[in-house]
Amino acid sequence: MEKKEVLSQCKQNNVRFVHLQFSDLLGMVKSVTIPISKLEETIDKNAWFDGSSIEGFTRIFESDMYLKLDLSTFAIVPWESNGDGAVARIICDVFTPDGKPFEGSPRHMLKRQLERAKKMGFSDFWVGPELEFFLFPLDEMGRPVVEPHDSAGYFDYSADKAGTIRQAMSDVVVQMGVDVESIHHEVSPGQHEIAFKYNNALTQADQVMTVKTALRAVAKKHNLHATFMPKPISGINGSGMHVHQSLGKNGKNDFHDKKGKYNDLSKTALRFIGGQLHHMQEITAITNPTVNSYKRLVPGYEAPVYVAWGQTNRSALIRIPRLTNGNVAGTRCELRSPDSSSNPYIAFAAMLAAGLEGIEKKIDAPKPIDENIYEFTDKKAKRMRIKTLPGSLAEAIAKLEKSKLVQDVLGEHSFEKFVEAKKVESDSHRLYVSQWEVDTYLDNY
């Protein structure tokens, strides 16, 4: 959108305030709100803010930064708009005072990898994320109660209490420009999924941030809490963010080759997969960045643990979905380990960097595994030379610290800040005495 169109939309919708949004290093939405009277000036002259107060940004003596508005992301915020006027949002890029993109901005990190892909001849990195989440009721104080909102299961209809709520969620995110493919009940009680139509990675990262915010807002209006926490309840499946991926050249899917093996996968696709498998252990701290992420990544709950790929094999870390009606444009690989506690800008950037490394260094994917990997023992995996994902945040950080690839994606300063923040989180968890420990050990020792 051009400035004239944005200002016209604001006038038509009686917009009173505009949120200028951006992301910190850990994926939290940050915002500066301006009155509509300041929008035109801000579009022309940008918005200054203190970067030293943002997680993972700069030191106090380099704190001056500004937000440059990406007008293509303009949207009305439905849940904040009423008869008194509307509220809009615009997603922004972060710049330093000398007019250069801030290297530590997660959105810029993704843009940098997309530019690298273009230099290698790939015009597009397409992704299609599937976000799983739970709905929990709120108590009389407005706090979430950790118990499922319903007793339904996968695609259930009769026991599903959230059909109307999901429709309301879909309506809101569609109004904000998100092209929703589907929204349905997931495997666990109280668990749901929303999937977006395939799009370029930058748009999709913006939309992941939008959807997470919107779904929480809609849930709250129904006296519920929507959480993207990977494993809020023990003993049942956790929530992931499966990501479908492909590379494009001149608008065509470069993952498809009718002469290729393994469901017509091109050499590009196989090396992209090879690169992701090769670097998966070191980027797991990016795609699964919380202590709780590793409560989901355990055998027995339909989350991938072994670093392998397969054709239409839903137990594999990377699977190749079956094409429908010979739709070669749909050729893609699905990475099944990420979860929504990750920062989507950094997660997509790390995934792309790993895949591009596989192409550059000609890291061919190993033979696909078409057995049920969920039933593998560690002994069998070792015999087949299949690696496992890190079993804890501490293990993932240890792999991350040695990764030149992730250092290149994040940049030196942000890499250090990310590692530091995650070590603090891991150490805090290690020192915490849980209720399980009290229940198990207090009487016996």
Catalytic status, residue 130? yes
Instruction: Determine how many CB atoms are found less than 10 A away from the CB of residue 200.
Output: 15
Q: Catalytic site residue 279?
A: no
Do residues 257 and 196 make contact, with C-beta atoms less than 8 angstroms apart? no
Catalytic residue list contains 334: yes
The residue to which tokens 């590793």 are assigned: 294
| Locus of tokens 């020192």 | 431
401 is catalytic: no
Strands 252-253 and 241-249: antiparallel
Indicate if 140 belongs to the active site. Answer: no
- The alpha carbon dihedral of 49, 12, 164, 302 has a sign of negative
CA distance 32 to 135: 29
- Which listed residue (242, 256, 279, 296) is catalytic? 242
- Nearest 10 degrees: Cα torsion 167, 172, 177, 182: -20
Return the residue matching tokens 């109280």. 190
Which residue stretches of 290-343 are H helix? Answer: 293-296
In 311-348, which positions are buried (b, 16+ CB within 10 angstroms) versus exposed (e)? eebebbbbbbeebeeeeeebbbbbbbbbbbbbbbbbbb
- Give me the catalytic one of 16, 314, 413, 429: 314
CA–CA dist 326, 305 (Å, integer) = 31
Compute CA distances 212 → 11, 26, 216, 344, whole Å. Answer: 27, 14, 6, 11
Question: Under DSSP, is residue 309 helix (H, G, I), strand (E, B) or coil?
Answer: strand
Q: Please pick, among 89, 107, 130, 166, the residue that the annotation labels catalytic.
A: 130
Q: How many CA atoms lie within 13 A of 208 on its CB side?
A: 34
**421, amino acid identity:** A
User: Does the annotation count 425 as an active-site position?
Assistant: no
Which of these is catalytic: 124, 160, 186, 425? Answer: 186
Query: Is 41 part of the annotated catalytic residue set?
Result: no
- Which position among 124, 160, 254, 334 bears the catalytic label? 334
The bridge status of strand 124-137 relative to strand 224-227 is: antiparallel
Active-site residue among 166, 185, 192, 193? 193
Q: Catalytic one among 50, 171, 378, 412?
A: 50
Q: Apex CA 385: angle with CA 384 and CA 386, to 5°?
A: 90
Active site residues: 50, 130, 132, 186, 193, 242, 314, 334, 336
